[in-house]
Amino acid sequence: MRESFSIWWFAGILLLAYGVVIFSTGIWELSHPLANPPVLNNLHAPIWWGAMLAVAGLGYTIGFRPRQTVNKRRK
């Protein structure tokens, strides 16, 4: 059986990668404040938004990881 990648696995990888990058940026900005911060920068949106993306991405990456057997969810 040919191993296939689910579209949801791709989505998980993408969200996980973005979550890690955005979250890391938010953490970095805590110690290196921006010269021209956006409006409501005090809410630290990159930290919580990045964390949410990473958690969602991790869930999809694991839940739809490629397997050797046929899986009905895969498409």
Partner 1 sequence: MHLTAFAVSTQLARLNWIDILVIAIYFAIVVFIGFYLRGSSNTSEEFFMAGREMTAWIAGLSFVSANLGSLELMGWAGSAYQYGILAMHWYWIGAIPAMLFLGIIMMPFYYISKTHSVPGYLKLRYGDGARALSAVSFAFMTILMSGINMYSMAIVMKVVLGWDLNFSIWVSSITVAVYVALGGLKSAIYNEVLQFILIWTGALLVPILGLIEVGGWSNLRQQIATNLGRSDYVHLWSTLGHFSDNPMGVNWFGIVFGLGFVVSFGYWTTDFLVVQRVLSADSIRSARMAPIIGAAFKMAVPFIVILPGLLALAVLPFHLVAQDVAVQTGQHSFNEVLPLMLVRYCGPGLLGMGVTALIAGFMSGMAGNVSAFSTVWTYDIYGAFLNKKATDRHYVAMGRWSTLIGVLISVGTAYLVQHAASIMDYVQQLFSFFIAPLFGTVILGMLWKRATKEAGFWGLLAGTGTSIGLWLWVRNDPSALRYVAMSPDAKDMAENIYRALWAWIVCVLVTVVVSYMTKPRPVAELEGLVYGASVLPKEHDDHWYQRPILWAGIVAAIFIFLNIVFW
Shortest approach of partner 1 to residue 7 CB, angstroms?
A: 5
Local structure of residue 32 (DSSP, 8 states)? S
- Token look-up 């991790």 returns 58
Among 43, 65, 67, 71, binds partner 1 (CB under 8 A): 43
- Token look-up 């938004």 returns 49
The answer to whether the CB of 5 falls within 8 A of the CB of 66 is yes
d(CA 39, CA 52): 21
Interface with partner 1, residue 75, by CB under 8 A: yes
Nearer Cβ to partner 1 (21/58): 21
Binding site for partner 1 (CB under 8 A): 5, 7, 10-11, 13-15, 17-18, 21-22, 25-26, 29, 34, 37-41, 43, 45-46, 49-50, 53, 75
